[in-house]
Amino acid sequence: MNKGRCRAAILISGSGTNLQAFIDRAARGNLDVDLSLVISNRPDAYGLERASHAGIETACVEHGGFTDRESFDRALAARLDEHRPDLIILAGFMRILSPWFVDHYEGRILNIHPALLPAYPGLDTHQRVLEAGDHWHGSTVHFVTEQLDGGPRVLQGRLPVNSEESAAELARRVQAVEHQIYPEAAGWFAGGRLRYRDGCAWLDGDRLDEPIVMDFD
């Protein structure tokens, strides 16, 4: 890691409410991470506007212009590496990353996924939780490996499911949880408390065989 504060780049594809949570924490002086760059793969991602308003440099690398996944990822990495990021924060970045990209930033990519992994990897998690009649749902911060939504889990925010609610309402509640847990976990990394080693997540020197769980209403 570079000397000094942790330099982070955030990758987005859409609205960027998680990005906003990082911006808001930074504005309150409550984030040990320097948000140096936001990149979207979609030019119309609202998160780019959020970043610009906050004075963060933005870029767009459109995936449509590349013939294969790794070519796109190499172009993305070229932009990222200009900023020498210590940490890559995936915040609603809806692209599967190539093995090359994951290896290039090994142990330095965090993702947030809207489910209590290993349950419900992939898409439409809220609808699937409601259809299954689950009592608990939430979100997981994890290190990114080649396995989709399968890297070592760090922190989960858990909340009870209300069987009467719609998938949209449940999604809104889960996102509110994400806005709490993602800056928290990134802060652990920035402070040197959280690391990836030997394929595992380590917090304060202890291997996390299970993620830390925070309960919400």
Binding site for ligand GAR (CB under 6 A): 12, 14-18, 47, 91-92, 112-114, 139, 175, 178
Min dist CB 12 to ligand GAR, Å, is 6
CB 101 within 8 A of CB 76: yes
Catalytic center residues: 113
C-beta of 2 vs 166, nearer to ligand GAR: 166
Min dist CB 166 to ligand GAR, Å, is 16
Min dist CB 143 to ligand GAR, Å, is 14
Min dist CB 178 to ligand GAR, Å, is 6
- Sheet of strand 212-215, all strands in order from the earlier edge strand to the far edge: 57-60, 33-40, 6-12, 87-90, 109-113, 136-143, 153-160, 212-215
Min dist CB 16 to ligand GAR, Å, is 5
Residue 12, both tokens:
């987005």
Residue nearest to ligand GAR (CB): 92
Distance of CA 57 to the CA centre of its chain: 19
| Structural element, H or E, at residue 9 | strand 6-12
C-beta of 16 vs 187, nearer to ligand GAR: 16
C-beta of 1 vs 54, nearer to ligand GAR: 54
Q: How far apart are the first and last CA of the chain?
A: 37
Alpha helices in 5-143 (DSSP H): 17-27, 46-53, 69-81, 99-104, 125-132
C-beta of 127 vs 202, nearer to ligand GAR: 127
C-beta of 122 vs 199, nearer to ligand GAR: 122
Question: How many other CB atoms sit within 10 Å of the CB of residue 105?
Answer: 18
Residue 138, both tokens:
């939430």
Phi and psi, residue 75, nearest 5°: -65, -40
